């Protein structure tokens, strides 16, 4: 049997790009979520919340660079089409990410009188970046439609994705803190979970109805049967997590990581659904991954490096999380 | 306005803002390692105090570099889709290797380097510092390889209007790459040396005579004094390499309108591109022929050989002179300061006052140099392969203008905040002096998770 590289490589890179996006959404999701939750936290709590993400956010954001980088290097045609169509939302996202990223550092280094201002900028940057990502997801799902309906739907998804990030942030706070802040985070999680579920349902329903091609992929026998675990499992996880919020935190703080892992699983399921809907297109209904892909020899040399480097990256990322494991304490440079 | 010129301005604004911060972090990582190794060797806590002052500058600069770098990765697609469509097969793998080998390395170990001092053993912390410094340098290697390939492309063939790789070694180590890489790494070293020297001079002027101030001041001044002559030599070699591969750039830098021998070295002029002549010219006879060809009747290329295909003269002429002028000032200041520190063990007040604004001299020279080489590539985006005008995207000029305006406002505000924090950190360190509590340095790591949890 001969292995057909020109067919396989774009597929592999689509998978890698999907993986990078999913990891980004989960990891930077909790960073952005904590930024959003800044608006409802006390001053002292804000310091603890920053300490819970301080050592990680930079590496988390790098997954976005990898995802965009893979889109850029593996599917250069799609990169141009998608990013010129989303010119303004991408710009808004970048402004949000810039404000969020620098506020992290400025708030800890400016004279104490100015700290408040940077806390507000940290919140603003996080919420702007989250809204922009949600809006882009909404517009992309509708096939990069920027008509009035597309904008309205984009706005809905923007709100729901921000709520989902806030839920991730709350779940991370439950894992990394204790006492009053942890109990507060449980309540935050419960509230934001409702909006998260609403958003996932909206995207799940809108996707097939916006495109007859996607409708045909889902609502046909026997695929419907094989695909049914995706929505059913997601719904069950939502219900289970909702119930859990009435019993957290557990004695001895058992299972503190569970809400976060559950949310990550829900994100992964939703992402798998989207991937199934859009495959094999990278620009909905316009460019397939093979039409948009780079030359085989270029993809091959990137893959060779990726195979060697990605496991190393994952290994030392785990190491970094382990070094800063346990409950968050004050961040100091010494 | 024309979307092409607006997109160029936007890319120029973004990359100018971005390059300020990697220029600092590339070399500052190694300086921090030096502070740390000196502490490990001498057990003198002043080294560690210098480390903790400057690691904060590193953290802030790194964050500024990351967020502005993310912007860059989107700019290719939002403003220049024709670039990746034409040369994506070459540029893609180089960018991918930068992300995979450098970005993740520095980002993952940055947390340990910044906040892990009491979480890991001293040895692991030193290793994390090495990995972060190595990561920033590796990132410079890949991006300089790509930039140099755009200046002097090699190792590829064109098939149906798209570049395809033939020889990766030739692509990465293209003709101008080694020169540009060395020139940039030295520029980073000088930028950091003058930043450290300048902020230490500010501490000195505010009355701080602490051991950690002296150590930082000497490190900055001596490093600058060693690097600047090497940089002048490397820059000259880089110029000769440009003469060989991009003669039209040299012609514009020297404002030489006609190819020929006995070309003067123009010290001051206002090049007039319409009239094809220099106004108010002050020049050394035969100077350019001697510098570039080592002979008074050496032939220097002129702009008349490249009608319509040479870069604009005015920005190149002045960009180059600002860079060289700043370099000469750096030489004078760093060598004078070295003399006083070595022989008199003090720093005269006027010299210290000159060194404070010189803290940003590296930024000025680096920007002027990059403007010279990048504008000098025009009208090409990739020399001989793709013109800038053919790569611009279909986005409306009004959108580009709006976003450009907001970027500029944001960048000015962030720069003010950044410089304000730098001065604040220096004055705070000056006030604390050697009395700041001794950092909790331990040879062994705390138990995991850290005690008290």
Shortest CA distance from B14: residue in chain A = A94
Share of chain B above pLDDT 70, in %: 96
Residues in chain B closer than 8 A to A325 (CB atoms): 448-449
pLDDT tier at B332 (50, 70, 90 boundaries)?
A: very high
Lowest-confidence range among A190-194, A222-226, B161-165, B303-307? A222-226
Shortest CA distance from A296: residue in chain B = B89
pLDDT in tens, A286-315: 888 888 888 888 888 888 888 888 888 888
Within-domain flag for B123:
yes
Q: In angstroms, rounded to a whole number, what is the distance separating the alpha carbons of residues B424 and B56? A: 11
To the nearest 10°, report the CA torsion of B405, B408, B412, B413.
60
User: Would you call B161 an interface residue with chain A, using a CB distance cutoff of 8 Å?
Assistant: no
pLDDT in tens, B192-250: 999 999 999 999 998 888 888 999 999 999 999 999 999 999 998 998 889 888 888 98
- Closest Cβ–Cβ partner in B111, B116, B118 for A58: B111
pLDDT tier at B452 (50, 70, 90 boundaries)?
A: very low
- pLDDT at position A84 over 90: no
**CB-based contacts of B240: which residues, under 8 Å, 6+ apart?**
B292
pLDDT in tens, A38-52: 888 888 888 888 888
- Closest Cβ–Cβ partner in A65, A84, A333 for B395: A84
- Closest Cβ–Cβ partner in B60, B66, B84 for A79: B84
Mean residue pLDDT across chain B: 87
Within-domain flag for B346:
no
Task: Name residues 31-60 of chain A within 8 A of B (Cβ).
Answer: 54-56, 58-59
Residues in chain B closer than 8 A to A295 (CB atoms): 89, 162, 164-165
Give the N- to C-terminal CA distance of chain A in Å, as an integer.
Answer: 59
Mean residue pLDDT across chain A: 84
Residues in chain B closer than 8 A to A74 (CB atoms): 92
Within-domain flag for B287:
no
pLDDT for A333 equals 64
Q: What is the sign of the dihedral through the CA atoms of A197, A95, A61 and B146?
A: positive
pLDDT in tens, B311-324: 888 999 999 999 99
Mean pLDDT of the B62-79 span: 84
Mean pLDDT of the A155-172 span: 89
pLDDT for B443 equals 45
User: Would you call B413 an interface residue with chain A, using a CB distance cutoff of 8 Å?
Assistant: no
pLDDT for B437 equals 60
User: Would you call A84 an interface residue with chain B, using a CB distance cutoff of 8 Å?
Assistant: yes
Lowest-confidence range among A288-302, A318-332, B170-184, B226-240? A318-332
User: Would you call A144 an interface residue with chain B, using a CB distance cutoff of 8 Å?
Assistant: no
Mean pLDDT of the B6-34 span: 93
pLDDT for B446 equals 43
Contact B341, B235 (CB under 8 A): no
Within-domain flag for B133:
yes
Share of chain A above pLDDT 70, in %: 98
**Six-digit token string for B282:** 């002050």
In the numeric block, the tokens 């998978």 are attached to A15
pLDDT for B204 equals 92
Q: Which one is predicted more confidently, A48 or B359?
A: B359
Give me the residue spans of the domains in chain A.
5-323
Contact B180, B207 (CB under 8 A): no
CA distance A269 to chain B (A): 26
Shortest CA distance from B401: residue in chain A = A88
pLDDT tier at B436 (50, 70, 90 boundaries)?
A: low
Interface contacts A/B by beta carbons within 8 Å? 230
Burial of B383 (0-12, 13-18, 19+ CB in 10 A): middle
- Closest Cβ–Cβ partner in B76, B100, B111 for A59: B111
Lowest-confidence range among A37-46, A115-124, B354-363? A37-46
Q: In angstroms, rounded to a whole number, what is the distance separating the alpha carbons of residues A136 and A155? A: 9
**Best A80, A112, A296 residue to mutate vs chain B (most B CBs within 10 Å):** A80
- Closest Cβ–Cβ partner in A64, A106, A294 for B70: A64
User: Would you call B414 an interface residue with chain A, using a CB distance cutoff of 8 Å?
Assistant: yes
pLDDT tier at A208 (50, 70, 90 boundaries)?
A: confident
Q: Give the H/E segment covering residue B108.
A: helix B104-115
CA distance A224 to chain B (A): 37
Within-domain flag for B438:
yes
Mean pLDDT of the B375-380 span: 90
- Closest Cβ–Cβ partner in A84, A91, A320 for B393: A84
Task: Name residues 289-328 of chain B within 8 A of A (Cβ).
Answer: none
List the Cα angle B115/B120/B126 in 5-degree steps. Answer: 80
Beta bridge partners of B386: B382
- Closest Cβ–Cβ partner in B70, B84, B92 for A97: B70
User: Would you call A115 an interface residue with chain B, using a CB distance cutoff of 8 Å?
Assistant: no
pLDDT for A212 equals 80
Say yes or no for a CB contact (<8 Å) between B453 and A87: no
Q: Which one is predicted more confidently, B445 or A28?
A: A28
Domain coverage including residue B82:
1-176+380-453
Within-domain flag for B148:
yes
Q: In angstroms, rounded to a whole number, what is the distance separating the alpha carbons of residues B276 and B260? A: 15
Within-domain flag for B449:
yes
User: Would you call A13 an interface residue with chain B, using a CB distance cutoff of 8 Å?
Assistant: no
- pLDDT at position A153 over 80: yes
Beta bridge partners of B382: B386
Give, as one character, the DSSP assignment of residue B246.
-
User: Would you call A296 an interface residue with chain B, using a CB distance cutoff of 8 Å?
Assistant: no
Highest-pLDDT range among A245-254, B396-405, B438-447: B396-405
In the numeric block, the tokens 């030392």 are attached to A316
A311 to A305, B101, B387: CA distances (angstroms): 11, 12, 39
Residue B267, helix vs strand vs coil? strand
Task: Name residues 176-195 of chain B within 8 A of A (Cβ).
Answer: none
Q: What is the 3-state secondary structure (H, E, C) of chain A?
A: CCCCHHHHHHHHHHHHHHHHHHHHHHHHHHHHHHHHHHHHCCHHHHHHHHHHHCCCHHHHHHHHHHHHHHHHHHCHHHHHHHHHHCHHHHHHHHHHHHHHHHHHHHHHHCCHHHHHHHHHHHHHHHHHHHHHHHHHHHHHHCCCCCCHHHHHHHHHHHHHHHHHHHHHHHHHHHHHCCHHHHHHHHHHHHHHHHHHHHHHHHHHHHHHHHCHHHHHHHCCCCHHHHHCHHHHHHHHHHHHHHHHCCCCCCHHHCCCCHHHHHHHHHHHHHHHHHHHHHCCEEECCCEEHHHHCCCHHHHHHHHHHHHHHHHHHHHHHHHHHHHCCCCCCCCCCC
Task: Name residues 76-115 of chain B within 8 A of A (Cβ).
Answer: 76-78, 81-82, 84-85, 88-93, 95-97, 99-101, 103-105, 107-112, 114-115
pLDDT for B190 equals 96
User: Would you call B386 an interface residue with chain A, using a CB distance cutoff of 8 Å?
Assistant: no
CA distance A236 to chain B (A): 34
pLDDT in tens, B99-148: 888 888 888 888 888 888 778 888 888 898 999 999 999 999 999 999 99
pLDDT tier at B448 (50, 70, 90 boundaries)?
A: very low
pLDDT in tens, B38-55: 988 888 888 888 888 898
Q: In angstroms, rounded to a whole number, what is the distance separating the alpha carbons of residues B326 and B322? A: 6
Q: In angstroms, rounded to a whole number, what is the distance separating the alpha carbons of residues B197 and B195? A: 5
Q: Which one is predicted more confidently, A88 or B182?
A: B182
Share of chain B above pLDDT 90, in %: 42
Shortest CA distance from A93: residue in chain B = B71
Residues in chain B closer than 8 A to A70 (CB atoms): 96
Residues in chain B closer than 8 A to A323 (CB atoms): 111-112, 116, 119-120, 448
List the Cα angle A25/A30/A34 in 5-degree steps. Answer: 140
Q: In angstroms, rounded to a whole number, what is the distance separating the alpha carbons of residues A296 and B320? A: 41
- Closest Cβ–Cβ partner in A59, A81, A329 for B453: A329
Q: In angstroms, rounded to a whole number, what is the distance separating the alpha carbons of residues A202 and A257? A: 28
pLDDT for B444 equals 45
Phi then psi for residue B164, to 5 deg, are -125, 135
- pLDDT at position B95 over 60: yes
In the numeric block, the tokens 């390939």 are attached to B149
User: Would you call B342 an interface residue with chain A, using a CB distance cutoff of 8 Å?
Assistant: no
pLDDT in tens, A181-195: 888 888 888 888 888
Tally of domains in chain B: 1
Within-domain flag for B389:
yes
pLDDT for B79 equals 82
Q: In angstroms, rounded to a whole number, what is the distance separating the alpha carbons of residues B17 and B69? A: 9
Residues in chain B closer than 8 A to A320 (CB atoms): 108-109, 111-112
User: Would you call B410 an interface residue with chain A, using a CB distance cutoff of 8 Å?
Assistant: yes
Say yes or no for a CB contact (<8 Å) between A65 and B110: no
């Amino acid at each position: 049997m001969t292995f057909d590289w020109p067919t396989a490589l774009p597929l592999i890179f689509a998978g890698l790009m999907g993986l990078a996006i999913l990891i980004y959404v989960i990891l930077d999701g909790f960073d952005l979520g904590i930024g959003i939750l800044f608006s409802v936290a006390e001053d002292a709590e804000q310091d603890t919340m920053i300490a819970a993400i301080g050592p990680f956010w930079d590496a988390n954001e790098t997954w976005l660079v990898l995802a965009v980088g893979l889109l850029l290097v593996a599917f250069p045609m799609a990169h141009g089409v998608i990013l010129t169509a989303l010119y303004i939302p991408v710009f808004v996202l970048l402004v949000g990410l810039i404000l969020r990223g620098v506020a992290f550092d400025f708030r800890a280094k400016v004279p104490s009188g100015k700290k408040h201002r940077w806390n507000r900028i940290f919140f603003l940057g996080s919420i702007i970046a989250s809204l922009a990502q949600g809006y882009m997801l909404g517009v992309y799902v509708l096939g990069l439609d920027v008509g009035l309906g597309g904008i309205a739907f984009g706005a809905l998804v923007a709100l729901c994705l921000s709520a989902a990030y806030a839920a991730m942030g709350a779940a991370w706070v439950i894992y990394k803190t204790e006492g009053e802040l942890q109990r507060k985070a449980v309540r935050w999680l419960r509230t934001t979970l409702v909006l998260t579920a609403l958003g996932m349902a909206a995207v799940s329903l809108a996707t097939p109805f916006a495109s007859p091609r996607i409708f045909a992929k889902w609502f046909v026998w026997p695929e419907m049967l094989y695909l049914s675990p995706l929505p059913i499992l997601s719904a069950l996880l939502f219900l289970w997590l909702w119930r859990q919020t009435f019993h957290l935190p557990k004695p001895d703080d058992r299972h503190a990581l569970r809400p976060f892992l559950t949310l990550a699983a829900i994100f992964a399921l939703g992402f798998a659904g989207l991937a199934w809907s859009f495959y094999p297109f990278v620009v909905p209904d316009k460019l397939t991954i093979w039409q948009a892909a780079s030359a085989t020899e270029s993809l091959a040399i990137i893959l060779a490096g990726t195979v060697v480097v990605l496991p190393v990256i994952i290994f030392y990322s785990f190491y970094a999380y382990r070094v800063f494991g346990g409950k968050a304490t004050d961040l100091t440079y010494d | 306005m024309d979307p092409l010129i607006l997109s160029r301005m936007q890319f120029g604004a973004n990359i100018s803002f971005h390059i300020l911060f990697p220029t600092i972090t590339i070399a500052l990582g190694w300086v921090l390692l030096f502070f740390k190794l000196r502490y490990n060797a001498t057990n003198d806590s002043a080294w560690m105090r210098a480390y903790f002052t400057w690691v904060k500058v590193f953290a802030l600069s790194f964050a500024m570099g990351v967020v502005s770098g993310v912007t860059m990765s989107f700019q290719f697609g939002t403003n220049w889709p024709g670039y990746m469509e034409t040369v994506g097969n070459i540029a893609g793998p180089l960018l991918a290797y930068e992300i995979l080998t450098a970005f993740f390395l520095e980002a993952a170990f940055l947390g340990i380097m910044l906040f892990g001092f009491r979480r890991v053993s001293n040895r692991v912390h030193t290793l994390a510092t090495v990995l972060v410094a190595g990561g920033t340098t590796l990132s410079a290697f890949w991006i300089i390889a790509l930039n140099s390939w755009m200046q002097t492309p090699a190792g590829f063939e064109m098939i149906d209007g798209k570049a395809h790789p033939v020889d990766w070694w030739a692509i990465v180590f293209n003709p101008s790459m080694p020169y540009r890489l060395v020139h940039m790494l030295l520029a980073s070293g000088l930028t950091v040396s003058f930043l450290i020297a300048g902020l230490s001079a500010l501490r000195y002027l505010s009355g701080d005579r602490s051991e950690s101030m002296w150590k930082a001041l000497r490190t900055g001044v001596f490093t600058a004094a060693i690097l600047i002559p090497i940089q002048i030599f490397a820059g000259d070699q880089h110029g000769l390499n440009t003469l060989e591969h991009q003669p039209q750039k040299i012609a514009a830098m020297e404002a030489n309108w006609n190819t020929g021998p006995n070309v003067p070295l123009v010290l001051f002029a206002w090049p007039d591109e319409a009239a094809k002549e220099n106004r108010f010219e002050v020049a050394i006879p035969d100077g350019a022929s001697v510098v570039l060809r080592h002979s008074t009747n050496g032939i220097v290329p002129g702009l008349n050989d490249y009608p319509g295909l040479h870069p604009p003269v005015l920005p190149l002429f002045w960009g180059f002179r600002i860079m060289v002028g700043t370099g000469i000032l750096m030489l004078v200041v760093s060598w004078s300061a070295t003399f006083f520190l070595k022989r008199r063990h003090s720093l005269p007040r006027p010299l210290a006052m000159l060194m404070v604004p010189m803290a940003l001299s590296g930024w000025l020279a680096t920007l002027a140099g990059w403007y010279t080489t990048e504008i000098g590539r025009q009208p090409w985006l990739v020399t001989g392969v793709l013109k800038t005008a053919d790569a611009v995207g279909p986005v409306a000029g009004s959108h580009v203008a709006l976003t450009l305006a907001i970027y500029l406002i944001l960048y000015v505000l962030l720069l003010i905040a950044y410089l304000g924090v730098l001065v604040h950190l220096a004055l705070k360190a000056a006030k604390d002096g050697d009395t700041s509590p001794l950092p909790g340095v331990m040879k062994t790591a705390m138990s995991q998770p850290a005690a008290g949890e």
